[in-house]
Amino acid sequence: MKSRSPSTLRPLLLLFFASPLLASAAKLGETCSADGECDAGLRCDGCDGQPGVCVRIKPYDPRSKGKDLPFNEYSWLTTHNSFALSGAKSDTGAALITFTNQQDSITSQLNNGVRGLMLDMYDFQNDIWLCHSFGGQCYNYTAFQPAVNVLKEIKTFLEANPKEVITIFIEDYVKSTNGLGKVFNASGLMKYWFPVEEMPKNGSDWPLLSKMIDQNHRLLVFTSIASKEASEGIAYEWNYVVENQYGNEGMNSTSCPSRSESSPMNSKSKSLVLMNYFPTNPSPKTACAVNSAPLLGMLKICHDLSADRWANFIAVDFYMKGDAAEAVDVANGHMVCGCDNIAYCKANATFGTCEVPPPMPSPTSPASSSPVDASDASASGRLSKFFKMVAIAAILLLEFSSY
């Protein structure tokens, strides 16, 4: 067999060494121009005209570290007005004239790790509809779709994912007798219902997450109408949850005020903490910046002002913009293992045992409180790509110098 000459082998060696550098997918924090350029589990997103950066699609599963904790010792990504999708058309046939807050369907949100859903429910057309409206009334131009459609999406997800738990927060404008009960019965979700009589009172711990799953109590539903806890068996949210102010008033970088219906944020008589962080007027153009360093800063501020409790639910607009998943990972890291991020937790290790040293303590300013903010991630990504290109250039120089 005839041997190959060195000049024939050199291009093959060049291809062998250079192709992994050219073909490798961009890692977390590296720059990108399309989702397909990012590694598995990542998507490409950029803020305010900056180059795209590969960010996580969904939070880490906090149970992956082997801990079995009460439900109130985990944090869950939550979408504000989960049903109000950009580009959606009303099932009434009318054009929608109302704000939108999310980009993708409920099913997609759940597949991306969202576990808290905020739904506005109204009496409309002799049924219960999801509307983003005003004055307690639903109109053709503010009505998205019948609520049962979305509830059936949730049922399908729970059926396909028997280890998952979902929480629904209802902004409740339903006045028809047993209206909510009827729509939940029609959806088939009642078999997953967490009974209100078993919900912990006076700030005590919730059951272990594993116990809730074993008992198939995998759907928590809260209403904003107090009387429905007795009349329909639907938990009144603020009997169990403290919640900060929503909208612009709740985005103060030095405070975490409770909304008017809630007990003070530092009240330990309620064992769940809901943190809202979204502006009064939602905008996908500003959501990326809002859901980055400022969100992480507010998470720390609300922790400090909520009796040193991390948020169990982190509610945002346009959750796919920015890095809302990072905020959930930070909260879970502190609650599950005492680390600055769930990614640093060692599986089945003692509390406070981390894979890497925690970052330096964050400043109190939301604008700079992220351990790795978007600009840092972008810079590190550009640097990584630079070194890849340097390596390829070196190989090319060696090749041409040999001729």
123 CB contacts (<8 Å, ≥6 apart)?
129, 138, 173, 174, 175, 176, 179
Can you say how many angstroms the Cα of residue 270 is from the centroid of all Cα atoms in its chain? 22
Q: Domains, the chain, ranges and CATH?
A: 60-364 (3.20.20.190)
Measured distance CA(207)–CA(390) in Å, rounded: 55
Q: Which residues contact 191 (CB under 8 A, 6 or more apart)?
A: 216
Instruction: State percent of the chain over pLDDT 70.
Output: 82
DSSP 3-state percent helix, strand, coil across the chain (nearest 5): 35, 20, 45
How confident is the model over 68-75, as a mean pLDDT?
97
Who wins on pLDDT, 275 or 397? Answer: 275
pLDDT reported for residue 327 = 97
- 143 pLDDT exceeds 80? yes
Q: What is the pLDDT of residue 229?
A: 98
Q: Residue 29 has what pLDDT?
A: 77
Predicted confidence band of residue 366 (pLDDT cuts 50, 70, 90): very low
- State residue 151's pLDDT score: 98
Determine the pLDDT at residue 381. 45
Residues 224-247: tens digit of each pLDDT: 999 999 999 999 999 999 999 999
pLDDT, tens only, 93-112: 999 999 999 999 999 999 99
Q: To the nearest whole number, what is the mean pLDDT of the chain?
A: 87
pLDDT of residue 28: 78
Instruction: Pick the more confident residue, 164 or 37.
Output: 164
Helices (H), 305-373: 324-336
Q: Is the pLDDT of residue 9 over 70?
A: no
Backbone phi, psi, residue 129, to 5°? -120, 160
Model confidence at 376, in pLDDT bands (50, 70, 90)? Answer: very low
Residue 328 pLDDT more than 90?
yes
Band (361; pLDDT cuts 50, 70, 90)? very low
Whether the per-residue pLDDT at 82 is higher than 80: the answer is yes
Whole-number Å distance between alpha carbons of 79 and 116: 6
pLDDT of residue 25: 87
Which of these, 128, 129, 22, lies nearest to 84 by C-alpha position? Answer: 129
Q: Which helix (H) or strand (E) holds 184?
A: helix 179-187
The more confidently predicted of residues 35 and 310 is: 310
81 vs 44 pLDDT, higher one: 81
pTM over 0.85: no
Confidence of residue 55 (pLDDT cuts 50, 70, 90): confident
Task: Give yes or no for a contact between 253 and 305, defined as CB atoms under 8 angstroms apart.
Answer: no
pLDDT at position 357 is 55
- Beta carbons of 47 and 295 less than 8 angstroms apart: no
Average pLDDT over residues 121-149: 97
**Within 10 Å of residue 330's Cβ, how many Cβ atoms?**
29
Nearest of 362, 357, 377 to residue 294 by alpha carbon = 362
What is the pLDDT, as a whole number, of residue 403?
A: 54
More confident residue, 36 or 403: 36
Residue 1 has pLDDT above 90, yes or no: no
What average pLDDT does the segment 318-343 reach? 95
State residue 48's pLDDT score: 66
As a whole number, mean pLDDT of residues 64-77 equals: 95
> Amino acid identity, residue 39?
D
Q: What is residue 394's predicted lDDT score, i.e. its pLDDT?
A: 55
Give the mean pLDDT of 118-126. Answer: 98
DSSP per residue, 206-229: PPBHHHHHHTT--EEEEES-TTHH
Total Cβ atoms within 10 A of residue 111: 15
Mean pLDDT in residue range 332-342 = 96
Q: At 309, is the pLDDT very low, low, confident or very high (cuts 50, 70, 90)?
A: very high
pLDDT digit string, tens, across residues 14-51: 545 545 445 578 887 788 988 889 988 788 887 766 77
